[in-house]
Amino acid sequence: MTRGGLPKRQRLIGLWLILSGISLLGGAIFAAWLDAQLAPTGSTRIALWLGSFSGGATIFLAGLLLERMLFTPLRHLQVQLARLVANPDARDEYPPEGWLKGLGPDLQRVRESWREDRSRLATAHTEGARSAARIRQELETLLQVLETPLLLCDYHRRVMLFNQAAEDFFADNTGLGLGKRLEALLPVASLQQALSQLPNDGSPRELLAPCDNRWLKVMLRRVPGSDGETLLTFSDATASWSSEMGVRAELADMLTPLRQHTASLTSAADALIQLRHQGDIDTLPLRQRFERVIQEEGASLGDNVAKIGQLLDDMQHQGERLTPMWSNDFWQALDERLDPEHRLITPVGMPAWFKGDAPALIALFDSLVKHLNAHLPDNGFEGEICLGNKRVYLDLIWHGKALPEHELTEWRQQTLPSLPLTPSVADVLRQHASDIWSLADEDRVHARLRLPLPAMERVGAPRETAPPRPEFHDFGIADLPPPDEALASRSLRSLEVVAFDTETTGLELRRGDTVISLGACRVVNARLLASEVFDQKVDPKRPIPLASTAIHGLTDADVAGAPPLDIVLTRFRDYVGEAVLLAHNAAFDLLAISHKGVTFDVPVIDTLLVSRALDEALDGHDLDSLAQRYDLAFPPGTRHTALGDARVTAELWLALLPRLEARGINTLEQLLTLQANAFDRQDASAS
């Protein structure tokens, strides 16, 4: 007997054939020796030879009987019990047979009792489930029309909830997902610091954070009475600039016809004055013609002036779109822009509110520091807000002398390519109805840059109204252990698992074959998330053989224009986050994605090895055999597709979980030990 199960069928058959062969060979030798010694004749000789072969024949027939009446029924019973543990509602394809046939009624009774218990348990929860489902449906219906992107994260900054608006807002960002760390979505130190300093009374804070090519205004608020959960809402702080630049561009377009009308009007007026001085009757038609020109041009000029007035009103409107900002948040965001690795700006004095276009101001100061780096120190600045009557003064202070005015004049003409429509520094200053200058402090040691900005009547820390309830959520995430704790002690059901699969140009990965498709799905709290998927074609930079296309169906045309493998793996690494990887025959898939410049330093679970460890006596641990064993189905057309195989692998993992728990394997450490013991017993060639 081998550890943990019945002997392997091949070993039993081999032992049986060896014993039978030895017995038959020994009997033949013994019969030949007796025949030579005794020289029997007739029936005596026949009896001697039959008696010598009887031992081997008995062993052969006994083994055949045991195989048909005991060992085959035992293997079928093991398969049926494994299926029942994974899914009590699975089909009954292997009723007890042979010498175990008498267990049929008992096994059926156990099965029916199990189903009755589950039915009673389901009935007991029906009313509560209906009520919860109704409330959830009502809340999700409300959230469908909510336009504010929001997230809810737990104390360890794992995403517990996000709504449809957030999914649309971060559509191209793979860092959004249930159970993922907030750092995968917004990897800025200021956000983490702000989260750690949030008050527990629910007072909100504002923060500017970069995300891809946007600057986001983030509102943070600790949920009162919770275990450290935080609610975050987002808005795009870059939107107002494009709108205002559109109005300014339209105003600039109006200047050309305005100049033309003015020139025509002036010329006609001068000519008319000269004709009046002549006083000749012959010039009367010409004077009338000039008067009509003056009348028409005057009317056109009036219309254009009215349009310009309307545009100025629009610009005034858009000037009011300058958003309120808390000065400490502005200094943090500017610090992230100047040097994310070091803290260059130290806020001093009392913080205050002001109005401004955050992305434009940050790009402006970034351009200023880089342009004037010869005059500015490299060891840091101080940031201070000074209050005036109707303005606040945004001051950047350093040890040294004031900047020359000619340097500032030259800088004002520079463009800011990081902003939409590439405005100049002067455009940004005009947007804020402001200018910038440098002056020396009274102590003759410090100097500063000063930028006046509109003040706010608001005082005190930022405040925000409570946002609405979530749509996509899993509140059980809050009960999970900290993600930075040793994974070895985590329970299997609490693991965040990413099941993945690859399709390749062939099986010779060490001889040039490579990935052409990568698919994955996520399991959180032993629940397969339907929409949390990763599905990406890959350009292999080589033709796909017809033999491989016959298996997975992918052709050169299907992967034309797809990103290369290094880019796809970078996105996939962001998608994985801190999850545990899961694959069937993981050795092959890990080899396919390794040595590509992206490191997957996370534990890996292989369902092939787990199945082999649980059922060593059974044959068939490939994905098709296990799907049939556990009554799992491939939707039509999904077999041998990366995402389709990954989904079935995830379902197989959920089917294996109760069987592992029944054997006392409850933690990741115990599972990896079991898996390692199974790896050496047979090569991982099944798929």
DSSP string for 71-126: IHHHHHHHHHHHHHHH-TTS-------GGGGGGHHHHHHHHHHHHHHHHHHHHHTH
Stretch (H or E) spanning 639: none
- 470 within a domain of the structure (yes/no): no
Model confidence at 84: pLDDT above 90: no
**Same domain (yes/no): 652, 551:** yes
- In tens, the pLDDT along 529-581 reads 877 889 999 999 899 999 899 888 899 999 998 999 999 999 999 899 889 99
**Same domain (yes/no): 552, 572:** yes
**Same domain (yes/no): 133, 177:** no
Largest CA distance in the chain: 167
pLDDT grade for 317, boundaries at 50, 70 and 90: very low
Of 58, 70, 98, 110, give the one whose Cα is nearest residue 617.
70
- In tens, the pLDDT along 452-488 reads 888 766 555 444 433 333 335 556 656 666 666 677 8
What does the angle CA 80 – CA 85 – CA 91 come to, to the nearest 5 degrees?
45
**Same domain (yes/no): 65, 158:** no
- 395 within a domain of the structure (yes/no): yes
**Same domain (yes/no): 537, 496:** yes
- 461 within a domain of the structure (yes/no): no
What CATH number should be reported for the domain holding residue 383? 3.30.565.10
Which of 434, 453, 472 is a domain's end point? 453
| Residue position matching structure tokens 């995403």 | 159
Count of alpha carbons within 13 Å of 122, Cβ hemisphere only?
6
**Same domain (yes/no): 107, 186:** no
> Cβ(324)–Cβ(456) under 8 Å?
yes
**Same domain (yes/no): 177, 29:** no
- In tens, the pLDDT along 348-403 reads 777 777 888 878 888 888 888 877 776 777 677 888 888 876 788 888 888 888 88
What CATH number should be reported for the domain holding residue 315? 3.30.450.20
Which of 142, 165, 197 is a domain's end point? 142
Query: DSSP of 15-52, one letter per residue?
Result: HHHHHHHHHHHHHHHHHHHHHHHH---HHHHHHHHHHH
Domain count, the chain: 4
**Same domain (yes/no): 129, 162:** no
- 479 within a domain of the structure (yes/no): no
> Cβ(520)–Cβ(646) under 8 Å?
yes
What CATH number should be reported for the domain holding residue 629? 3.30.420.10
pTM, 2 dp: 0.52
> Cβ(605)–Cβ(497) under 8 Å?
yes
**Same domain (yes/no): 398, 370:** yes
Label the pairing between strands 150-153 and 159-162.
antiparallel
Query: Residue 92 is part of which domain span?
Result: 1-142
Amino acid 32 reads: A
**Same domain (yes/no): 119, 189:** no
**Same domain (yes/no): 88, 168:** no
Of 230, 239, 242, 236, give the one whose Cα is nearest residue 210.
236
Question: Could you give the CA distance from residue 665 to residue 658 in angstroms, rounded to a whole number?
Answer: 10
Count of alpha carbons within 13 Å of 113, Cβ hemisphere only?
6
pLDDT value of position 467: 39
Which of 404, 438, 453 is a domain's end point? 453
**Same domain (yes/no): 127, 176:** no
